[in-house]
Amino acid sequence: MDGDGKEFMEKTRHHNLGQPDQGQKLVPPPLQLEVPVGAELVELPAAEQIVVPVMDLRKAIESRATVRKYHDEPLSMDELAYLLWCTQGVKKIIPDRVTFRNVPSAGARHPFETYILINNITGLKPGLYRYLALEHKLMIVSLEAALAEQIAQSAFNQPHIKQSAATFIWSAVIWRMKSRYGARSYRYIHLDAGHICQNLYLAAESIGSGVCAVGAFDDDSINAVLGFDGEEQFVVYMATVGKKEHA
């Protein structure tokens, strides 16, 4: 197995890469997955109108810790919108080229789509949603009652997935990154995922909430539950979030 890792690192060195789509002036991939006709959308509070408690950055960094047990108090729509904005909020769009967001991404490719398993958010029905970063809206994917259990099972039955107010699920649409970086993209998407999740940890601190990053899941199972093919789109990282238990 150790040899597989070494082979991956060797084959993704710059001198082993071919010419990506961008170098061949091919049509770039869309900045966001298509929104199906008739999809039910949910308006989110505008980012500039969301008021959250002021927290010193040093305090947020020093207070950050993984939290697996949550209070049963729900998150508000404002708080959910704030977390989505901090992790994937779009600040500027260059049409058909790139987006600039609140997290860094290699070449501003931003390959991730954010799915959210909603368990306990005021004003939202439990179910699976997708964050439409370009519009700052939610799209209902499924309100099937069994989804929370299926997602938890895919993550080896970690209980905090069902007990959280919400579980963030980040899936990579690999073409967005590969169109510029070829095979090296598989390195970059994992770096990008770390940037996103750290922003979630820090933003959650300012609203009295905690986060648990989840990297332990069965890839085939979670991709099947969410309807991803596992090659062009696949889950890279997850994180639960909820209000901290009162001292």
Residue 247 CA: distances (Å) to CA of 60, 219, 237: 18, 36, 30
CA–CA gap between residue 164 and residue 241 (Å, rounded)? 6
Q: How far, in whole angstroms, is CA 197 from its chain's centroid?
A: 8
* φ and ψ of 132, to 5 deg: -90, 95
For 176-203, b/e burial (b = at least 16 CB within 10 A) is: bbbbbbbebbbbbbeebbebbbbbbbbb
Contact yes or no for 128/168 (Cβ under 8 A): no
Token digits for 174?
């690999």
Question: For domain 2-32+39-243, which CATH number applies: 3.30.750.200, 3.10.129.10, 3.90.600.10, 3.40.109.10?
Answer: 3.40.109.10
Q: How far, in whole angstroms, is CA 2 from its chain's centroid?
A: 29
Q: What angle do CA 218, 224, 230 make, to 5 degrees?
A: 75
For the chain, what are the domain ranges? 2-32+39-243
Residue type (1 letter), 106: A
Residue 119's contacts (CB-CB under 8 Å, 6 or more residues apart) are 126, 148, 162, 163, 164, 165, 166, 167
Which one, of 159, 140, 135, 134, lies nearest residue 148 by Cα?
Answer: 159
Contact yes or no for 169/112 (Cβ under 8 A): no
Q: Tens-digit pLDDT profile for the chain (247 aa)?
A: 578 889 988 889 888 776 665 555 667 899 999 999 999 999 999 999 999 999 999 999 999 999 999 999 999 999 999 999 999 999 999 998 899 999 999 999 999 999 999 999 999 999 999 999 999 999 999 999 999 999 999 999 999 999 999 999 999 999 999 999 989 999 999 999 999 999 999 999 999 999 999 999 999 999 999 999 999 999 999 999 999 987 6
